[in-house]
Amino acid sequence: MSQTITIALDAMGGDSGPEVVIGGAAIAVDRHPDLRFVIYGEEDVVAPVLAANESVRQVSEFHHCGVTVQMNDKPSQALRKGRWKSSMWRTVEAVRDRRAGAAVSAGNTGALMLMAKFCLKTLPRIERSAIAAIWPTTRGESIVLDVGATIGADARMLVDFAVMGAAMARSVFGLDRPTVALLNVGVEEIKGIEEVREASRVLREMDHPGFEYRGYVEGDDIGKGTVDVVVTEGFSGNIALKTAEGTARQIAEYLRSAMARTWAARLGYLFARSAFELLREKMDPRKVNGGVFLGLNGMVIKSHGGTDAEGFASAIELAREMARNDLVHMIADDSAFDDAAATGRMRAASA
């Protein structure tokens, strides 16, 4: 029998709260019977939903929390109000105290990141944490980080992001030596700001055994899947993410409008229905739901607040995979490789 994996769930996060969280847990445990849950939330709201989902109730431990972090709460206010009491804090705390292998919440992103940093702390040698997103590409999937945790990053941080992203690619995609590149305004070595060029020099000289550094990629390479891991800082990464999400919705709306315009178009849709279904499946954001907080001494996954049960199940399954492969220790081990030499090279380059 396989070893059970416990995931902590914030039942109060997101636009729909417990219905989506418990519904997602039901889908996930049906697919992965080794899952167990520690669930945190307001009892009068969560208990009826949990009672109606016998498969989840049988594998769950529930804890009442009297405080819920609201989606519009400022992160600092949420921390002051919700520390030790809120469902969000208790969910992250379960990871810190080793009661769960990972935490999943669809709640306030800023509050979750602040609580995760405050509760779990960053790993040794990691200066800043990052949010990593799984990105659908024409070749499959890639990892892009940072997509919003750290606005502005120096060379040392970008190198850390490369190491963390590569470890995640090995954990989630099962790759022995994923390819990694820095997002830049061109592929030529002279292009880009000094922080990016310096990080590139360090990554080339590092020759890390856990990944293959491929230099620079441009924005259109993300969707092509040119490399397995694309590294950037949080400002540009978040803009790229939101642009891609908006473009996907725009294309979907164009298709709906075109297919409904004439009878001939509707008839054409019927003949090409299988192709459109395949396109819809590839563009389904629920399948890649879950931003991963990397660089912390514990795994935290941020589900999209507006997702449905299927999307939340995807976030739980992502948490399961990373907990099963002990991604935190993979990152810690990888970041220790050649750390002193890499720091020395950056100092020499900036002198």
Please tell me which residue, 263 or 57, carries the higher pLDDT value: 57
* Judgement on whether residues 44 and 96 belong to the same structural domain of the protein: yes
In a domain, 303, yes or no: yes
* Judgement on whether residues 61 and 208 belong to the same structural domain of the protein: no
Query: Are the beta carbons of 36 and 65 closer than 8 angstroms?
Result: no
pLDDT of residue 64: 96
Mean pLDDT of 67-95: 88
In a domain, 348, yes or no: no
* Judgement on whether residues 140 and 40 belong to the same structural domain of the protein: no
In a domain, 337, yes or no: no
Model confidence at 338: pLDDT above 80: no
Q: Rounded to 5 degrees, what angle do the CA atoms 243, 178, 205 make?
A: 100
Query: Are the beta carbons of 181 and 226 closer than 8 angstroms?
Result: yes
Tens-digit pLDDT profile for residues 309-332: 999 999 999 999 999 999 998 998
203: tokens are 């990554």
* Judgement on whether residues 116 and 136 belong to the same structural domain of the protein: no
* Judgement on whether residues 281 and 304 belong to the same structural domain of the protein: no
Q: What is the dihedral of CA 109, 110, 115, 116, to 10 degrees?
A: 60
How many domains is the chain built from? 2
Query: Are the beta carbons of 114 and 78 closer than 8 angstroms?
Result: yes
Tens-digit pLDDT profile for residues 169-218: 999 999 999 999 999 998 887 788 899 999 999 999 988 899 999 999 99
Name the H helices within the chain.
Answer: 18-31, 43-51, 54-57, 75-82, 87-96, 109-120, 155-173, 194-206, 219-224, 234-259, 263-271, 273-282, 309-324, 327-336, 339-350
Boundary (domain end) residue, out of 285, 315, 340? 285
**pTM: predicted TM-score of the whole model, two decimal places:** 0.85
**CATH number of residue 281's parent domain:** 3.40.718.10
Mean pLDDT of 13-25: 91
Q: 22 is in which domain, residue-wise? A: 5-122+296-325
Query: Are the beta carbons of 322 and 299 closer than 8 angstroms?
Result: yes
Mean pLDDT of 130-149: 90
Please tell me which residue, 333 or 178, carries the higher pLDDT value: 178
Mean pLDDT of 50-70: 93
Mean pLDDT of 336-344: 58
Give residues with Cβ within 8 angstroms of 317, minimum separation 6: 28, 31, 32
Please tell me which residue, 81 or 299, carries the higher pLDDT value: 299
Phi, psi of 217 (to 5 degrees): -130, 160
Distance, in Å, from the CA atom of 3 to the CA atom of 302, rounded to the nearest integer, reads 25
Mean pLDDT of 12-30: 93
* Judgement on whether residues 82 and 156 belong to the same structural domain of the protein: no
Amino acid identity for residue 144 in this structure = V
pLDDT of residue 177: 94
In a domain, 35, yes or no: yes
* Judgement on whether residues 235 and 118 belong to the same structural domain of the protein: no
pLDDT of residue 277: 62
* Judgement on whether residues 37 and 84 belong to the same structural domain of the protein: yes
In a domain, 342, yes or no: no
* Judgement on whether residues 103 and 136 belong to the same structural domain of the protein: no
In a domain, 86, yes or no: yes
* Judgement on whether residues 157 and 102 belong to the same structural domain of the protein: no
Model confidence at 26: pLDDT above 60: yes
pLDDT of residue 284: 54
* Judgement on whether residues 134 and 278 belong to the same structural domain of the protein: yes
* Judgement on whether residues 55 and 165 belong to the same structural domain of the protein: no
Would you put residue 239 in left (φ > 0), alpha (ψ -120 to 50) or beta? alpha
Model confidence at 347: pLDDT above 60: no
Query: 156: closest CA among 190, 186, 182, 128?
Result: 128
Q: Which contiguous run of DSSP H or E holds residue 67?
A: none
In a domain, 291, yes or no: no
- The sheet with strand 179-183 has its strands ordered as 60-64, 35-41, 5-10, 102-105, 299-302, 291-294, 130-137, 140-145, 229-231, 179-183, 212-217
pLDDT of residue 1: 46
pLDDT of residue 288: 62
Count of residues in the chain: 351
In a domain, 103, yes or no: yes
Model confidence at 2: pLDDT above 70: no
Tens-digit pLDDT profile for residues 80-90: 877 778 999 99
Tens-digit pLDDT profile for residues 217-269: 999 999 899 999 999 999 998 888 888 878 777 777 777 777 777 777 666 65
